[in-house]
Amino acid sequence: MAPSSRVLKLTVSYDGSRFIGWQRQAAGESIQSLLETALARFEGGPVTVHGAGRTDAGVHALGQVASAVVTCPHDTGVLCRGLNAQLPADVRVLSVADAAPEFHARFNARSKTYRYLLRNGPLASPFERQTVWHVTDQLDHDAMVLAASMLTGSHDFAAFRSTGGSVSSTVRTLTRSDFGVERNAALPGVDPEAAGRLLTYEVQGDGFLRHMVRAIVGTLVEVGRGGRTAASVAALLDGGSRSEAGATAPSHGLYLVSVDYD
């Protein structure tokens, strides 16, 4: 009798600095391929792992969620420890759980939360070079807060979508779009004026287009620099094109924070 299948739900955290992204590709090391290789040793055969979000090269994750159909009988705790024993130190499986037979990490996701970090000041720590975008220009934080708040609700985000990939609609709903200042983010031994501030942009929505969060951040930074008004960001949601929005922010400041399910 063939062994019965089960669906695993994995919560994964990773430093995306050296990876080509989540998705398996012909060349380069991806998070997906690492997890599939590690799970295959328990399964005794190939395993396909589906991620909730296909993070790009250099993007990090605090709580990526993945699913896989397997037949191996190992306890979830054993699987979690065994996977981490095989994975590199910059990828950690935080938990493994048995899920409902119909569970799919991507298709069943109700919302995702992303965070973007910016160091705004003359000086940044070398340890932040792959985890934070360093912006030396003085930014108008209040203007960025106002512009970010205009993005909540259901809108057409075509102006914030990079080319590539296919979607049936560019309308998305954001339930949060908040700019803030991280507390206790001073650099040790550095004059606070030189270190500036660590700014955070946190956004939650029912889905995101390709490079959407990074395009939003790049546009908000233009607002902060005085290159555009906060009102111009709202105008982009009314039929604006990608060329009218700001540049795409670097990937290394972006984090997939969490994925929510019903």
In three-state secondary structure terms, 25 is coil
* Torsion angle of C-alpha atoms 170, 53, 102, 111, degrees rounded to 10: -60
56 has catalytic annotation: yes
**Residues 216 and 232 sit within 8 Å (Cβ to Cβ):** no
**Residues 223 and 245 sit within 8 Å (Cβ to Cβ):** no
**Contacts with 26 (C-beta within 8 Å, 6 or more apart), sequence order:** none
* Torsions phi, psi for 214 (to 5 deg): -65, -35
In three-state secondary structure terms, 4 is coil
How far apart, in whole angstroms, are the C-alpha atoms of residue 15 and residue 59? Answer: 8
Query: Per the residue annotation, which of 15, 56, 90, 178 is the catalytic one?
Result: 56
Q: Determine how many CB atoms are found less than 10 A away from the CB of residue 21.
A: 20
Tokens of 206: 């029912």
In three-state secondary structure terms, 31 is helix
Tell me the catalytic residues.
56
